[in-house]
Structure 1
Amino acid sequence: MITLPENSSNQTVTKLPDGTPKFKWLQTIRIVLQPIDTLEQTEQRYGDIFTSDLGFFPPQVVISNPQAIQELFMADAQLFDSGSGNYLIQPLVGANSLILLDGDRHLQQRKLLMPSFHGERMRAYGETIRNITKQVTGKWSIGKQFTARPSMQDISLQVILQTVFGLKEGERYQQIQQVLTEMLDTFNTPISAVFLFFKSLQRDFGAWSPWGKFLRRRQQLDELLYQEIRERRHQPETRGEDILSLLMSARDEQGQPMTDEELRDELMTMLFAGHETTAIALSWALYWIHYVPEVREKLIQELNSLDIAHADPTAITQLPYLNAVCSETLRITPVAFFAFPRVLKAPMKFMGYDLPKGMMISPCVYLTHHRPDIYPEPKRFKPERFLERQFSPYEFLPFGGGNRRCLGMAFALFEMKLVLATILSQYSLELLDQVPLKAVRRGIVFAPPGGVRLMVKEKH
């Protein structure tokens, strides 16, 4: 029982609303299959801070109140474990992933990875991003329809393979591309995503069983990644400007390099967290830009003010309306519905409530981004809101926050803006799905159903 402390008139204030339903497993299946309806109905009933116990997670407090989010993000990071709250994705990224680390190891690894995603190094990737975008979209032809998500996935995967791995076209490049795409497709429907939530289903019944298929693909990918790491270790002169080369030459405070296993898990984290998520965000952006014609017109007008093909990548990423369109896409359809949870290492007073040790606090990005008091008409796609006012990191948090904010945030936004600017300055597109699209689960992230169908038109 979680209660507030007694107030001055000696009456006990009511306990935190308990959003746990009578039939837990039914609710668990609903949250996997119908996440938006379930979250919105629960919030309507219990408010913006409530407890929930769904069985596959420890008991948790779900928050979508900016004041509560601020209190959580500004609290001493030593009070929480966060890695343990992310165990669902361990099969995808491995135990040494930054996402699953806590304490000093988390800090140390974050420090090693940080320089790879900032400043000059990132700007150097601008040309690569534009070239890959032109190469992938060069396969489109006038009058033919295409699905945005596979195309965007092709772009974002190639960007990762070239900037993170330093791999150029070749056999291993093709193999990694193919195996990773197949591996992520294992959980591409809400039903297949159930395997990530229920440990009891994670059984290998052979190559044709869903989990067995996933394990074999993961094994294939591991072999390819370890081959690449071993070759680089034996041929230091082949190291370049890519992120893998940087990580291999990085040393911790004791002068120790990262082990093969640590390198593999960080590469998997970047492949998983930096590829699928950006591809989905780009697909949503193309949907919204073409679903709301005035947004497209305004954006094209802004892009026409620059010679996009020859402009400096940094100048493109500083365009205000392009930035607003990307922010509004990540607000209305966030790729992840929850920021990383924090698990209490000791009892704590939070928002005036007494929370026990082991309680998990989960900030809900989706519900926060759909608060009408912060975002009037929250279901409407309106980039202007990001030009009219500045939102705090506790009101707008598509990349999480505090000490667990996504390390690749700047890189993801940089890539997103360059890809959109390159596509929209070269092609005229028509949206074939002129209907409201509701996000569906794809593994642990949320994507547009059907992947967004578009057609290439004559450019006037």
Structure 2
Amino acid sequence: MFWLLSLGLLATPLLILIFTFVKLQIRSARSPLRKLPGPPAKSWFYGNVTYILEKGQSVAWDEWVATYGKTFQYPLMFNYPSLFTTDPRAINHVLTHSDEFEKPPVGKAALGLLGDGLIFAEGERHRKQRRIMNPAFGPGQLRSFTPIFNQKAHEVENIWLSQLNEAQADVIKVDVPNYMGRVTLDIIGLAGFDYKFDSLHSKGDELGIAFSSLASGGNAPMARWTITPHLLALAPILTKLPCLTRRLRKPKAAIDRIGNELIAERKSTFLREQSSGVKETSGTYGRDLLTLLIRANLQDPDCMNDSDVCAQIGTFFIAGHETTSTAMSWTFFGLCQNLGAQKRLREELLTLDTDDPTMDELKSFPYLDMVVRESLRLYSPVFVSRRVAVKDTVLPMRDGSSISMSEGDSFTIPIYAMNTDKDIWGDDSLEFKPERWESPPEAISEHHGVWANLMAFLGGSHACIGYQFTIIEMKCLLFALIRKFEFELVIPAEDIVWGNHAVVRRPFVKGEEQDGQKLPLYVKVYVPDL
């Protein structure tokens, strides 16, 4: 009897998976997207996913654009079609009609154990979270974060100076992603929830290790492509199978426990402040995003529950750490390929007679702004985003035509393809040239990204709420490090490749991808000409 019961328990999820898969195939066959041109599926199960992983997303896209034009359909997992287009009107419609298009279930399956934070929430739940969180990202709060950015930038600076002194050398070799990952982790810890990871000077604590196990390492959901999230999205009941989710449960438990402890502590402090009438503002407390969120939440009659608030800690981490550290690494890579741009940037930054710029001073540098724009154009950390139609709908196109989509159809927002489109950016679109922003192409005015007419932070109701936080943080780090050091590539630029197997576009050394992200640079102290 026990064996029969066990067999039944194992067979039930499998039968549900098979039934759901068959239903999906029937719906896929009836999709109006099938009428569009596009590459045939390489596999009835994987669609063209394995081909994309083998060739690279950008290579596959370029190949298909050359063959089928800038609007086509291509089969993804389970041979289900996804609409690819760089049409600005269609993309703007998708981004501004969240009632018709939502984040795909596979994203939530991969990272959703972090909770329904702002990244994954939809509909009224998303609108409520955004409304409560918006004040925490206002200009006044960002100004208060700038000293944190400066402090941590100087810590990286001092570590590299110490290494130069210890080596008694004029130049050292530095793996930039390692330090950018650690400094941005420390920053989001302090600015996000008044938590000291101190990863620049230690191996990290329990919370840092938990986050890192989700974001980096061989089996982390953000570090590589696996079929597991697709299976979980297809049949959520499979989350009950420990074999599919065991790697996520331990870090999830640590994040929830520590997150709830932080929330309870902040609530207690807030109530104590209310009763005493005295605000407690020691350290970074009182300025961090979590405290601001809890204060706003408790004062709002339609407040979030503790689970939603805890989910924002994971949201802060994903949006404020992984993407920013990757963006910084690629910015240094671009400046090493264009040493003239690196020199020009350094000369501009040295005109300010302080080591601790304010947010307004950082905004006053035109070339610094161009460098950040060019980096996020060419090396946007998130190079693709997807949406799924939640109802039958019609997608308007720029030329006045339209494309019908059925409920469940997928839509690809090709961030990288749009940011490097040669018809818009010219034949040198794949080169790092900050000067192009002195007179940007008029065509980008049709791209309704929330910042600089780029899709790096997307647009519409799901645009990145913390994009200004990221921009100021990047400028602070560049201000300190470019003024102090000169950077050069250790290996040829063509030997630095970007991974196609992860959510975030990380740099790797060709042939050494199994060793994780790397970008080795020579670093030496800048000595001005006499």
Determine whether 1:176 maps to 2:207: yes
Work out whether residues 385 and 413 of structure 2, in 8 Å CA contact, stay in contact via their aligned partners in 1.
yes
Alignment partners' CA distance in 2, 1:380 and 1:248: 44
Determine whether 1:79 maps to 2:100: yes
Work out whether residues 2 and 353 of structure 1, in 8 Å CA contact, stay in contact via their aligned partners in 2.
no
Work out whether residues 82 and 100 of structure 1, in 8 Å CA contact, stay in contact via their aligned partners in 2.
yes
Range 228-237 or range 110-119, more displaced = 228-237
Alignment partners' CA distance in 1, 2:78 and 2:346: 46
Q: In structure 1, which of residues 395, 398, 406 is the aligned counterpart of residue 464 of structure 2?
A: 406
Aligned-partner SS, 2:431: coil
Instruction: Please list, as runs of the form range in 1=range in 2, the aligned pairs for 1:380-391 lying within 5 A after superposition.
Output: 380-389=431-440, 391=444
CA RMSD, Structure 1 to Structure 2 (Å): 3.1
Alignment partners' CA distance in 2, 1:189 and 1:160: 20
Q: In structure 1, which of residues 206, 212, 221 is the aligned counterpart of residue 246 of structure 2?
A: 212
Aligned residue in 2 for 1:258: 304
Aligned residue in 1 for 2:131: 111
Instruction: Please list, as runs of the form range in 1=range in 2, the aligned pairs for 1:4-153 lying within 5 A after superposition.
Output: 15-24=35-44, 25=46, 27-33=48-54, 34-55=56-77, 59-74=81-96, 76-82=97-103, 84=105, 86-91=107-112, 93-94=114-115, 96-140=116-160, 141-142=163-164, 143-153=171-181
Determine whether 1:368 maps to 2:399: no
The number of residue pairs the alignment matches comes to 447
Query: Identity of counterpart residues, as a percentage?
Result: 22
Alignment partners' CA distance in 2, 1:43 and 1:190: 27
Q: Deviations over 1:301-345 (max 9, x none)?
A: 111221241432321233111111111111112111223525242
Aligned residue in 1 for 2:504: 445
Q: Shift of residue 188 of structure 1?
A: 6.1
Alignment partners' CA distance in 1, 2:259 and 2:222: 29
Q: Deviations over 1:389-426 (max 9, x none)?
A: 26323462111112211111111111111111111112
| 2:267 counterpart letter in structure 1 | R
Alignment partners' CA distance in 2, 1:197 and 1:264: 22
Q: Deviations over 1:244-297 (max 9, x none)?
A: 111112238971432221112111011112100000000000111012111111
| 1:199 counterpart letter in structure 2 | L
The alpha-carbon distance between structure 1 residues 68 and 246, as it changes in their structure 2 partners (threshold 3 A), is: same
Instruction: Please list, as runs of the form range in 1=range in 2, the aligned pairs for 1:291-306 lying within 5 A after superposition.
Output: 291-306=337-352
Alignment partners' CA distance in 1, 2:373 and 2:142: 20
Instruction: Please list, as runs of the form range in 1=range in 2, the aligned pairs for 1:284-363 lying within 5 A after superposition.
Output: 284-351=330-397, 352-363=402-413
Determine whether 1:274 maps to 2:325: no
Work out whether residues 99 and 123 of structure 2, in 8 Å CA contact, stay in contact via their aligned partners in 1.
yes
Aligned-partner SS, 1:411: helix
| 1:387 counterpart letter in structure 2 | E
Work out whether residues 81 and 342 of structure 1, in 8 Å CA contact, stay in contact via their aligned partners in 2.
yes
Aligned-partner SS, 2:206: helix
Q: Which structure 1 segments of 5+ residues have no match? A: 5-13
Determine whether 1:160 maps to 2:188: yes
Aligned-partner SS, 1:39: helix
Alignment partners' CA distance in 2, 1:198 and 1:341: 15
Aligned residue in 1 for 2:18: none
Q: Deviations over 1:198-226 (max 9, x none)?
A: 436988998xx895333322322322222
Range 191-200 or range 269-278, more displaced = 191-200
Work out whether residues 117 and 407 of structure 1, in 8 Å CA contact, stay in contact via their aligned partners in 2.
yes
Determine whether 1:416 maps to 2:474: yes
Alignment partners' CA distance in 2, 1:272 and 1:196: 20
Q: Which structure 2 segments of 5+ residues have no match? A: 1-29, 165-170, 273-279, 510-517
Aligned residue in 1 for 2:21: none
Work out whether residues 214 and 222 of structure 2, in 8 Å CA contact, stay in contact via their aligned partners in 1.
no
Work out whether residues 17 and 50 of structure 1, in 8 Å CA contact, stay in contact via their aligned partners in 2.
yes
Aligned residue in 2 for 1:10: none
User: TM-score, normalised on structure 1?
Assistant: 0.87
| 1:117 counterpart letter in structure 2 | F
Alignment partners' CA distance in 2, 1:3 and 1:227: 50
Q: Shift of residue 191 of structure 1?
A: 8.2
Work out whether residues 133 and 422 of structure 1, in 8 Å CA contact, stay in contact via their aligned partners in 2.
yes
User: TM-score, normalised on structure 2?
Assistant: 0.76
Aligned residue in 2 for 1:455: 522
Work out whether residues 82 and 343 of structure 1, in 8 Å CA contact, stay in contact via their aligned partners in 2.
no
Structure number, greater radius of gyration: 2
| 2:438 counterpart letter in structure 1 | L
Q: Shift of residue 173 of structure 1?
A: 7.6
Aligned residue in 1 for 2:263: 229
Alignment partners' CA distance in 2, 1:413 and 1:155: 15
